[in-house]
Amino acid sequence: MSDHLVLEAKSVSKFFGTITALENVNLQLNKGEVLGVVGDNGAGKSTLMKVLSGLYKPSEGSLFFDKEKVTLSSPRDSQNLGLEMVYQDLALAGNLPIGDNIFLGREPTRKVGPFNFLDHKKRKQLTEEHLAKLKINVKSADQKVEELSGGQRQAVAIARATAFNAKIVLMDEPTAALAVKEVGKVLDLILNLKKLGVSVIVISHRMDDIFTVCDRVMALFQGTNFAESELRNTSRDEVIGWIMGKKD
Amino acid sequence: MDKNQESLFVRLIPFFERYGILLLILIMIAVLHLLQPDVFLSWRNVTNIFKQVSWQSMLALGVFMVIVTAGIDLSVGSIIMLSLMGLAIASKAGMPWYVVMLVAPAIGFLCGMFNGIGITLLRMPHPFIMTLGTLYIFRGIGNLISGGVPITGFAEQIRVIGNGKIKLDAFFGEGAREYIPTSLILMIVIFFIFWVFLNHTRIGKWIYAIGGNPGAARAAGINVDRILIIVYTLCGFLAGIGGLILAGRTNSAYPNAGLQSELDAIAAVIIGGASFFGGRGTVLGVFAGVMIMGILRNGLNLMNVSVFWQQVLIGSIIILAVYIDVLRRQLATRT
């Protein structure tokens, strides 16, 4: 699989004034691969994600999408390149139904004379198809998001991120706010995305998550690449050691 | 309270949330009909209620959209007065009636846009503050341009909008006294247009999304400031239409026009089931809220109940309506 690189960051550094958040960080992501990113608080995980999604401009270094060098000036740019971010605070409107949330800002419409009206039927149909494709179970596509459980909301957020054929999905602590019984469903969903050929980067501090869904794990420590390994060649204890800055 | 009773109570709440308001209207009509069998449901009285609520309903509809975005517009009562004064001055200056007719909505449009720009571009901390300021500014300007005195006498074409009658001779025979007020037709048409706008267009959907979670709307690439400016502008525009209807109804522009009517508008919206926290409410609910206020005032007037008791009753209904909203939110977060 490593023959198809969809995303690469080369010696990326990010400075905030005198603070160095990232220093010479490298990252590679292959098609259909799930990469786990671990690290202690302040190790630079979130900063790296924000650089990849175009929210922050790297101070040094460069980004490559499909092996082509790109400069991102906003998250819109990375979205256009097929990268979507699932926000930790979910960014859903609880008062709106599932389908409305998935298509918010990109609603299907139909023309009646000079006017564009919402195509409720089409939205419902696309929503049901997409949820079925991701094997997300909800009572109805018309259910309001505020009536959903935390895990179902996370699923809707992921469905939203992938509704427009995203090739890369970044997830920041996708299971952090979930009840134990719901974690499994979200992890299944990540594995489903992988089967559909989507590449995923998961930030998590839960070893269970990392060792269930990831193909590869990389650890950041104080803003630098600390260690990296195929999952089958490492162990929980070793990865926990990396987070604390210990290497054999 | 034992468990079964509670669950029945809990199950009844969504039912009341949806249909309770219509039930309330029916009960009010039934009670008033029993108390005043000859007068209340007479053609004359019913049309009177509709004529009275027609201009108030324009304010309520505009304020409703603002409240859906979790905002507030306190200035609509002053906008109605300023647009009315502008119309009167244009009329007095001898402008043709079709220009005069456009003056009120145009002034309302500009006032609303001013509010919207202040709230978004000037980064006012809350719409309450901006529109509290313009509540004073707009009424002050209205009094400045009119000299603080009433201006009366408008062209027949203007009067028709607020006071016109569509005869029903075809149904009730030649010379019948039954008629439909023009302002009722105008109100229904405008409510329908805004129902379509809010439920079947992307901007309408975004208005609800902003009320639900402005952060989510921004993350979805929606230009929240632009939508807010549109909402406040439309709110002002509707207040301007209200001014036009009021001009026709009273044939006069007077300094106290629309005084405190912003509070009636907010009350009607809240009674109609919209949430003050944004994102929730329907156009039909606003219509129901306006009707409840109108029927209540009319019925109490017919029965010679003092204005003071009317205030107490309307206040109580507002608190009851909001309490139902509180219960609803509690239930939603309990799961």
ipTM of the complex in this document: 0.85
Q: Which of B225, B282, B237, B296 is nearest to B80 (CA)?
A: B237
Distances (CA, A) of B50 to A78, B84, B256: 54, 20, 22
In chain A, which residues have their Cβ closer than 8 Å to the Cβ of B14? none
pLDDT, one tens digit for every residue, chain B (335 residues): 455 556 676 666 667 666 778 888 999 999 999 999 999 999 999 999 999 999 999 999 999 999 999 999 999 999 999 999 999 999 999 999 999 999 999 999 999 999 999 999 998 889 999 999 999 999 999 999 999 999 999 999 999 998 888 888 878 877 778 899 999 999 999 999 999 999 999 999 999 999 999 989 988 889 999 999 999 999 999 999 999 999 999 999 999 999 999 999 999 999 898 988 899 999 999 999 999 999 999 999 999 999 899 889 889 988 887 787 677 667 766 54
3-state secondary structure at position B152: strand
Find the chain A residues whose C-beta atoms sit closer than 8 A to any C-beta of B. 76, 87, 89-96, 100-101, 104-107, 109, 115-118, 120, 146-147, 149
- Parent domain of A13: 5-82+166-243
Would A94 be classed as within a structural domain? no
In chain B, which residues have their Cβ closer than 8 Å to the Cβ of A113? none
- Please give, one letter per residue, the 3-state secondary structure of chain A: CCCCEEEEEEEEEEEECCEEEEEEEEEEEECCCEEEEECCCCCCHHHHHHHHCCCCCCCEEEEEECCEEECCCCHHHHHHCCEEEECCCCCCCCCCEHHHHHCCCCCCEEEECCEEEECHHHHHHHHHHHHHHCCCCCCCCCCEHHHCCHHHHHHHHHHHHHCCCCCEEEEECCCCCCCHHHHHHHHHHHHHHHHCCCEEEEECCCHHHHHHHCCEEEEEECCEEEEEEEHHHCCHHHHHHHHCCCCC
Strand partners, A168: A83, A199
- Whether B111 and B119 have beta carbons less than 8 Å apart is answered as no
Would A178 be classed as within a structural domain? yes
Least CB–CB distance from A92: residue in B211, B216, B280: B216
Contact A107 B205 (CB under 8 A): yes
In chain B, which residues have their Cβ closer than 8 Å to the Cβ of A120? 200
Distance from CA of B219 to the nearest CA of A (A): 7
Alpha helix (H) residue ranges in chain B? 3-35, 43-68, 76-92, 97-120, 127-146, 156-163, 169-172, 182-200, 202-212, 214-219, 224-250, 261-271, 283-302, 307-334
Strand partners, A111: A116
Read out DSSP for B264-316?
Answer: HHHHHHHHTT--TTSS---HHHHHHHHHHHHHHHHHHHHTT--HHHHHHHHHH
- Whether B74 and B131 have beta carbons less than 8 Å apart is answered as yes
In chain B, which residues have their Cβ closer than 8 Å to the Cβ of A146? 332
The whole-angstrom separation of Cα A119 and Cα B200 is 8
Would A195 be classed as within a structural domain? yes
Q: Which of A177, A130, A121 is nearest to A154 (CA)?
A: A177
Q: Quick one: how far is CA B48 from the chain centroid? A: 17
CATH code of the domain containing A199: 3.40.50.300
Least CB–CB distance from B208: residue in A92, A95, A147: A95
Least CB–CB distance from B212: residue in A93, A107, A147: A93
C-alpha torsion sign, points A173, A178, A184, A189: negative
pLDDT, one tens digit for every residue, chain A (248 residues): 456 899 999 999 999 999 999 999 999 999 999 999 999 988 999 899 999 988 899 999 999 999 999 999 888 888 889 999 887 666 899 999 999 999 998 999 999 988 999 999 999 999 999 999 888 888 888 999 998 988 899 899 999 988 888 999 999 888 887 888 889 888 999 999 999 999 999 998 889 999 999 999 999 999 999 999 999 999 999 999 999 988 87
Residues 6+ apart with CB under 8 A from A125: none
Least CB–CB distance from B222: residue in A76, A105, A146: A105
- Delineate the domains of chain B, giving CATH numbers in brackets: 39-334 (1.10.3470)
Most B CBs within 10 Å: which of A104, A142, A160, as the mutation test of the B interface? A104
Find the chain B residues whose C-beta atoms sit closer than 8 A to any C-beta of A. 196, 199-202, 204-206, 208-209, 211-213, 215-217, 219-222, 278-280, 332, 335
Distance from CA of B24 to the nearest CA of A (A): 25
C-alpha torsion sign, points B279, B280, B282, B283: negative
Distances (CA, A) of B220 to A75, A91, B223: 11, 8, 9
- Whether A210 and A228 have beta carbons less than 8 Å apart is answered as no
Would A140 be classed as within a structural domain? no
What's the first-to-final CA gap in chain A, in angstroms?
29
Would A186 be classed as within a structural domain? yes
Instruction: Kindly compute the dihedral angle of the four CA atoms of residues B223, B227, B233, B237, in this order, to the nearest 10 degrees.
Output: 150
Q: How many CA atoms lie within 13 A of B230 on its CB side?
A: 14
Residue written as token pair 């992890």: A187
How many CB atoms within 10 Å of residue B285? 21
Least CB–CB distance from A93: residue in B201, B216, B332: B216
Distance from CA of A20 to the nearest CA of B (A): 27
Domain count of the fold of chain A: 1
Distance from CA of A96 to the nearest CA of B (A): 7
In chain B, which residues have their Cβ closer than 8 Å to the Cβ of A109? 202
